[in-house]
Amino acid sequence: MASVSATVSRIRGHYWPLVKSRQTFLLTITGMAGYLCQPSMPVDILRFLSLVGSLLLAISGCTVLNMLIDRDIDQKMTRTSRRPMAVGQVQPRAALCLGIALISIGLIWSVALSRLYFLVILAGVGVNVLVYSLWLKRRTAWSILLGGIAGGMPILAGRVLATGRIDLLGLLLALVIIHWIPSHNLTLTTIYAADYRQAGVPTILNVYGATVTHLMVTFSSVMVALFSIIVGVQLGLSGTFLAILFLASMGLVCLAVLQWINPSTKLVGILFKYSSMYMLVSMLFITISGMI
């Protein structure tokens, strides 16, 4: 029993943090929303659970490999210096095997469901791990745009699995996430600008300055709000849901404009937290719309 307890404790303390559960679950929820936002289509529970499982595995595997690739960066940043890979609690080979295994199982599962669904997930994995993390993150501040594209793949994949095709609504859903991730990333890199500078990671703030950063955050936030409202209209959300979504979107836009006009770390921090809640609520609304 002691050995089992020790193993569970090691998994929970050393390996579980590698999947960055909040980020992974949020991206998985976007995939669930993409699948369920089809009011006229009955939900196949087994297929839906397979979507959740395959997405969760593939996203988790990507996150583990990202942590492996970024372990030297994490060591230099106060915010991330205690991560398992940064302090040597997990060996690189173990993380590599875990990440590849999770992605492989997720992809095998996805190809059994649909070839197009598999291709969308594969594209997300390739862009996230190979293009964003391995190639561009240390070379250019504009790598965040590729990160946004990778982040938009789960919700598109969910829509593809539900409909069997890539349609306009699926692309609009993906555009919500594609614009949200750079905005979310830019607020984070603003709050921890010194960390990123110390680690030598190029960010929009450290390369192009505060004015460009705050302008990009405002633009991205406006686009998130715009595409979210368009999606809400396309889905035929009820008047109440649409009104709440509109008010929440205006709150996001107002905070973004305020941090552009009168930038402060406190205001950027508020926007960072608000945008996370906004995305979660938006995905819940999209999901509910397909269930009523």
More confident residue, 146 or 85: 85
Q: Crossing angle, helix 115-125 and helix 45-69, to 10 degrees?
A: 20
pLDDT for position 91: 94
The secondary structure of 208-238 as a DSSP string is H-HHHHHHHHHHHHHHHHHHHHHHHHHHT--
pLDDT at 70 over 70: yes
Tens digit of each residue's pLDDT (9 = 90 or more) over 151-189: 999 999 999 999 999 999 999 999 999 999 988 899 999
Domain range annotation of the chain? 10-289
Q: Is the pLDDT of residue 98 over 70?
A: yes
Task: Pick the closest to residue 43 from 282, 245, 289, 236 (CA basis).
Answer: 289
- What is the crossing angle of helices 265-289 and 21-36, to 10°? 40
Q: Options 3.30.950.10, 1.10.150.130, 1.10.1270.20, 1.10.357.140; which CATH number does 10-289 get?
A: 1.10.357.140
Percent share of the chain, pLDDT over 70: 95
Give how far Cα 267 sits from Cα of 56, 214, 223, 256, 273, Å: 33, 11, 20, 9, 10
Q: 11 vs 224, which has greater pLDDT?
A: 224
Q: What is the mean pLDDT of the chain?
A: 91
43, pLDDT greater than 60: yes
pLDDT attached to residue 1: 55
